[in-house]
Each structure stands twice: as structure tokens, then as C-alpha cells.
């Protein structure tokens, strides 16, 4: 499966590629498993500062799961539960990734593709990109683990609109719903995604990880503990903070080391 989920490294930025262009990057069960393993590995790598996830080519991010696999992998409730467990683990691995994640979205981004892209922190697509989750036409349910990112981005009302109608809609509507962060001309998607990743990588990596951690924690309605509250000030004890404010005073670009 290594050739179906590629990892390309450029300095502090890793690009994860759903690499099945002949099938528009349709996802298979082994791809889901490998994708989760890749994100677990990358999350543990302190030399990383940003991850870009994309589909191979420019026709599709991913159209969802490969329907031809259903007869062998999802033909009954028991099989579907096993398949769903693999998807759940991968969704949790991407959602728990410590590093910022940028989704570079070309073309079609529906179903499972939308679920994966929705887990990214910043989502950039082209003007001709198309979105949706037309699984009602297959008699399928978006299970609890899968529906979370959709609701967190679009809200319950819009998520239900997407699921109940099963419509495929354009990039502007996706932006209006909060599913994407930025819409650019199709031929600028890659450049914009990589420029975004570089801006993130140029920032203090510990700060980026803290911001992701705090944002995730605030989804939980429980009151913050005293230790959690105090963690918000630990950045003032880092070498990166000292470098940052010195660089600001000296009117130069900071050089952060993640310490």
C-alpha cells in the first residue's frame, strides 16, 4: 500500500498523496489503514512543521470509497463494522495529528474524500472543485466517527442538508458552508497550498501545536483545569519565544528551532 499512499518530504513540510489517479483516488480499505499509519508516524516526528494532503493529479482529491470493493469488504453488517473501525482509527489519527494539516483539493471531493479533507486545519480548493456526500443514493449512513468533521465545519443544519439531499455542489457553496477555507483558480491550487504550508512552517512549531491542542480542547464543554489554563503561558519559557521577540525588535525574520 506504500505506493497508494505516498509521503513526499521537503524540509519541514510533508506531502501525503492519495495515489490512485486512474480511479480518481477512490479509497480502498488498505488505503484507509495505511493513511492512518502514515499520520500516526508523521505526528510523532518533531522535525515536521506542516503536512499537506492531496490526491494525485488534478481531477480529484477523492470521490469517496471504491464501490467495487463493497461486494468483498462491505457486503453485510459484520464486514461493514470492521471496515468502519479501520476508517474510525484513521479519522482519529488525522484529527489527533499535532502538526498543522493543509488540504490541497483539486476537482472532486465527496464522500470519504470530504471526510478526510474536512479533518485538515486549512482547506484550499480550485474554482471547479465539487463537494458533497451523495451516500443516500447508495443506501449508506455516514457513521458517528465520519460525520464529526462535517458537523464541526458546517454545523448540524448544513451537515443534514448535505446528507439528506445528497447534492453535489460547487466550490463557492462549499466555502459558504465552511467546508473550505479558500477558493483559488484551478491552476493556482498547488501553489497556494504549498505557500500556505510554508507560511506555517516559517512560524514557531511549538506554537502551532499548542494552538491545535487548545482548539481541540475547547470543543469539549468541560471547564478547563488549572493546569490546562496555565499551559497557555508556557510559550514564554521557550527559546522560540526569545528568538521571536528578538527578531521582531531587530527587524529580521525569526529562525525557530522548536525549543
Out of 161, 179, 201, pick the residue that ends a domain: 201
Judge whether 46 lies within some domain. yes
What is the total count of domains within the chain?
2
Q: What is the mean pLDDT of residues 141-156?
A: 92
Is residue 105 predicted with pLDDT exceeding 90? yes
- Same-domain pairing of 104 and 46: yes
- Same-domain pairing of 190 and 213: no
Give me the chain's average pLDDT, please: 95
- At residue 1, the pLDDT reads 60
How many helices (H) and strands (E) in the chain? 10, 10
- Same-domain pairing of 47 and 100: yes
Is residue 236 predicted with pLDDT exceeding 70? yes
- Same-domain pairing of 214 and 168: no
- At residue 133, the pLDDT reads 96
Is residue 155 predicted with pLDDT exceeding 90? yes
- Same-domain pairing of 110 and 218: no
Q: How far is CA 120 from CA 30, 106, 114, 123, 225, in A?
A: 21, 15, 10, 6, 27
The CA-based angle 164-167-172, given to 5 degrees, is 120
Taking a C-beta distance cutoff of 8 angstroms, is the pair 54, 106 a contact? Answer: yes
| CATH number, position 191 | 3.90.226.10
Instruction: Tell me the whole-structure pTM to 2 decimals.
Output: 0.94
**pLDDT class for 65, splitting at 50, 70, 90?**
very high
- At residue 74, the pLDDT reads 85
- At residue 73, the pLDDT reads 87
- At residue 196, the pLDDT reads 98
- At residue 149, the pLDDT reads 87
- Same-domain pairing of 36 and 152: yes
Q: How far is CA 31 from CA 3, 41, 59, 125, in A?
A: 10, 15, 19, 22
Question: The domain containing residue 189 runs over which residues?
Answer: 5-201
- At residue 109, the pLDDT reads 98
Judge whether 79 lies within some domain. yes
**H or E element at residue 85:** helix 77-95
pLDDT digits (tens, 9 = 90+) for 157-205: 999 999 999 999 999 999 999 999 999 999 999 999 999 999 999 999 9
Amino acid at each position: 500500500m506504500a505506493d497508494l499512499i505516498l509521503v513526499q518530504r521537503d524540509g519541514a513540510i510533508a506531502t501525503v498523496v492519495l495515489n490512485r489517479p486512474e480511479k480518481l483516488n477512490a479509497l480502498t480499505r488498505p488505503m484507509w489503514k495505511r493513511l492512518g499509519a502514515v499520520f500516526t508516524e508523521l505526528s510523532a516526528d518533531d522535525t515536521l512543521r506542516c503536512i499537506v494532503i492531496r490526491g494525485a493529479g488534478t481531477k480529484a482529491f477523492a470521490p469517496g470509497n471504491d464501490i467495487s470493493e463493497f461486494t468483498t469488504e462491505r457486503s453485510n453488517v459484520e464486514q461493514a463494522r470492521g471496515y468502519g473501525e479501520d476508517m474510525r482509527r484513521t479519522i482519529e489519527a488525522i484529527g489527533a495529528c499535532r502538526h498543522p494539516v493543509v488540504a490541497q483539493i483539486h476537482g472532486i471531493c465527496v464522500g470519504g474524500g470530504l471526510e478526510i479533507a474536512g479533518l485538515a486545519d486549512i482547506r484550499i480548493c480550485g474554482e471547479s472543485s465539487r463537494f458533497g456526500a451523495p451516500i443516500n443514493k447508495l443506501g449508506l449512513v455516514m457513521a458517528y466517527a465520519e460525520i464529526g468533521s462535517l458537523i464541526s465545519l458546517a454545523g448540524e443544519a448544513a451537515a443534514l442538508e448535505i446528507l439528506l439531499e445528497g447534492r453535489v455542489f460547487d466550490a463557492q457553496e462549499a466555502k459558504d458552508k465552511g467546508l473550505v477555507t479558500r477558493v483559488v483558480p484551478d491552476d493556482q491550487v498547488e501553489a497556494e497550498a504549498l505557500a500556505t504550508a510554508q507560511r506555517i512552517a516559517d512560524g514557531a512549531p511549538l506554537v502551532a501545536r499548542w494552538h491545535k491542542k487548545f482548539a481541540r480542547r475547547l470543543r469539549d464543554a468541560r471547564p478547563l483545569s488549572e493546569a490546562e489554563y496555565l499551559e497557555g503561558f508556557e510559550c514564554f519559557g521557550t527559546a522560540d519565544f526569545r528568538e521571536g521577540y528578538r527578531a521582531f525588535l531587530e527587524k529580521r525574520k525569526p529562525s525557530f528551532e522548536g525549543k
